[in-house]
Amino acid sequence: MSALKKQRVAASDGEIEKKFAQGQRLQVRDRFAEAEQRFRKVLALDPRHLGALTGLTQCLIAQKKQQDAIETLDRAAADAPEGDEIWLFDLAGLCTTVKYLQQARTLYERALEIAPDMSSSLINLANVVEEQGEIQKAIDLLSRAIEVHPTSARAYGNLGKVLTGTRLRDEALACYRRAIELNPNISQTWTNLAALFEVLGRHHEALPALQQALNLDPNSDAARWNLARTLLTIGEIEAGWDMYGFGFACRERQPWRPFPGLIWEGQDLTDKTIMVWREQGLGDDLIFSTCYSDLIARAGHVIIETERRLVSLYQRTWPEATVRVETWTSTGLENYGEVDFDYTAPAGLVAAQLRRKLTEFPAPRHALVPDPARVAECRAWLDTLGTGPKIGISWTSGKVDDIRALSYTKLADWKDLFAIEGAAIVNLQYTDVSEEAEALQRDHGLTLHRMPGLDLFNDLEGVAALTACMDAVVAPSSFPMMVAGALDRPCFHYIRRNWTMLGTDGSPWFPEMRCYLIEDTGSVSGFLSRIVADVGAFLRA
């Protein structure tokens, strides 16, 4: 190459990097449309500039141009040169980052056709297929990665993570031990080991693992989030709440709605308006809602944004507050400034401020107020079932995997509950129960009573009204149990020890709730008989 040609190439490279740096600066300042144009110019000069492709994809997503982002990645995948497994690998990683999993999978598979023993492709493809729900496929890929690279700490650590989601807990623990033996300096391995200890109920063993993770990576938001929940679980309440915000940083708490300068951190709310927004699922929302009466007493005015199915119930319960559907206006993301409040906070942050000690949980507590007309309808139907006690039951969840299955049961497991003299067992389970209910009737001659016309998933006013009529409720950690607790109904709750218990053997949030700890990861038979006996004794009393 002549000296003149080398100079032109260098100048071209310099121009490319200059435009790329301009795009990065614009992206950091949230000037996404301008950054998009800079990145496109870079890619016109160098179609395989991964940094520009990454920046362009991120800017398109930030502008809610998801389809454009997908088409951009599809074009890059189609133009990928044959035989270049490194470029395919890098492009697949970008697709994974933006959760375009199917294209990521295709690219990793293409890379493996070229280099079948590329352990990094095997490991990353395993992560993708696990997220797609193909657990055995992920295990096979990681086992292959270990075959070709027996000293890969990352392969062992990822296999431990996948096995944690199955019933192979001992094997998962052995994988983590081997990963740490091979390389004790991977923060994520220690974080995942702590998660396994949480599944096993060995919370005090999770603490040193998380501390080691943070020693290796002091900025690991995932480790700090896990540490927050572990501290709450073992009763270190104030320390746990102080770290609870890291759940947003690692995207485990949703939705994140940043309002710079307006987040409430305990300031005096006299004559001030605070807007509280729902976070996590409906069960979490009901737990945190137990703080709203205290917040209303402190503030000039409270605005509560929640899921539409809960709005009317909350309006009736807290008429002095403004309760509205979460609309994503005033999110702090794109239309910051459209606010009608002085402060704002996610519901969990309100709990973190107002429930820092067990002594700060009020007794008696302000319960939810169901619709009197709907309650009357429910009572009229229940009267047709006889004069005996009515026991509400829920036993599973809409999402069950091997880990979650440890906390749930089957309807047939509760045959003895149906044998309580004079009792009618009423369905509160919001999933399709037809098959189990019919099997119970056919095989055992037992009837699960289901209120005609009541949609237990969408009609939460009806759910609250029916639950309010129950003499007792039996359920696992699920939305029906949280509704019963929030209504102050007598609850018999089987649960694996978790952060909501705040180091106790019960529920500080719902004082009427009796908790039965699931300690044996292999069997539920122990607590079943205890609950049935206690429900019977309670109803007789």
Last residue of a domain, one of 306, 337, 360: 360
Residue 426 has pLDDT above 90, yes or no: yes
Residues 6+ apart with CB under 8 A from 333: 257, 258
The answer to whether residue 84 sits within a structural domain is no
Q: Which of 486, 487, 475, 484 is nearest to 516 (CA)?
A: 475
Instruction: Name the helix (H) or strand (E) containing 123.
Output: helix 119-131
User: φ and ψ at 134, to 5 degrees?
Assistant: -95, 80
The answer to whether residue 319 sits within a structural domain is yes
Q: Judge if 344 and 222 occupy the same domain.
A: no
Task: Return the pLDDT at 331.
Answer: 53
Residues 6+ apart with CB under 8 A from 31: none
Q: What is the mean pLDDT of residues 379-395?
A: 96
The answer to whether residue 20 sits within a structural domain is no
User: CB-based burial of residue 315 (10 Å sphere; 0-12 exposed, 13-18 middle, 19+ buried)?
Assistant: middle
Q: Judge if 474 and 434 occupy the same domain.
A: yes
Cα–Cα dist 9/3, whole Å: 10
Q: Which of 238, 303, 310 is nearest to 458 (CA)?
A: 310
pTM to 2 decimal places: 0.81
Q: Judge if 532 and 387 occupy the same domain.
A: yes
Last residue of a domain, one of 196, 224, 253: 253
- Split at pLDDT 50, 70, 90, the class of 44 is confident
Q: Which of 283, 233, 247 is nearest to 501 (CA)?
A: 233
**What domain range is 227 assigned to?**
185-253
User: What are the C-alpha distances in Å from 466 to residues 17, 451, 463, 510?
Assistant: 65, 9, 5, 19
Q: Judge if 380 and 454 occupy the same domain.
A: yes
Q: Judge if 377 and 418 occupy the same domain.
A: yes
Task: Return the pLDDT at 3.
Answer: 41
Amino acid making up residue 410: K
Q: What is the per-residue pLDDT across 449-507, written as a single tens digit (0 to 9) for each?
A: 999 999 999 999 999 999 999 999 999 988 999 999 999 999 999 988 999 999 999 99
- Split at pLDDT 50, 70, 90, the class of 336 is low
The answer to whether residue 281 sits within a structural domain is yes
Cα–Cα dist 507/331, whole Å: 32
Q: Judge if 415 and 536 occupy the same domain.
A: yes
With tokens 């890929």, the residue in question is: 141
The answer to whether residue 339 sits within a structural domain is yes
Q: Judge if 356 and 376 occupy the same domain.
A: no
- Split at pLDDT 50, 70, 90, the class of 31 is confident
Residue 9 has pLDDT above 50, yes or no: no
The answer to whether residue 475 sits within a structural domain is yes
Task: Return the pLDDT at 5.
Answer: 39
Q: Domain count for the chain, please give it.
A: 3
Q: Judge if 277 and 423 occupy the same domain.
A: no
CATH code for the domain in which residue 202 is found: 1.25.40.10
Q: Judge if 457 and 405 occupy the same domain.
A: yes
Q: Judge if 435 and 498 occupy the same domain.
A: yes
Q: What is the per-residue pLDDT across 240-295, written as a single tens digit (0 to 9) for each?
A: 999 998 888 888 888 878 787 889 999 999 999 999 999 888 999 999 999 999 99
Last residue of a domain, one of 331, 360, 389: 360
Q: Judge if 218 and 307 occupy the same domain.
A: no
537 close to 514: Cβ distance less than 8 angstroms: no
Q: Which of 256, 313, 271, 264 is nearest to 289 (CA)?
A: 313
Q: How far is CA 257 from the centre of its chain?
A: 16
Q: What is the per-residue pLDDT across 140-192, written as a single tens digit (0 to 9) for each?
A: 999 999 999 999 999 999 999 999 888 888 999 999 999 999 999 999 999 99
- Split at pLDDT 50, 70, 90, the class of 328 is low
CATH code for the domain in which residue 501 is found: 3.40.50.2000
Task: Return the pLDDT at 441.
Answer: 96
The answer to whether residue 289 sits within a structural domain is yes
The answer to whether residue 325 sits within a structural domain is yes
- How would DSSP label each residue in 143-212? HHHHHH-TT-HHHHHHHHHHHHTSS-HHHHHHHHHHHHHH-TT-HHHHHHHHHHHHHTT-HHHHHHHHHH
Q: Judge if 405 and 385 occupy the same domain.
A: yes
Least-confidence region, from 34-43, 455-464, 508-517: 34-43
Q: Which of 79, 70, 85 is nearest to 125 (CA)?
A: 85
Residues 6+ apart with CB under 8 A from 387: 422
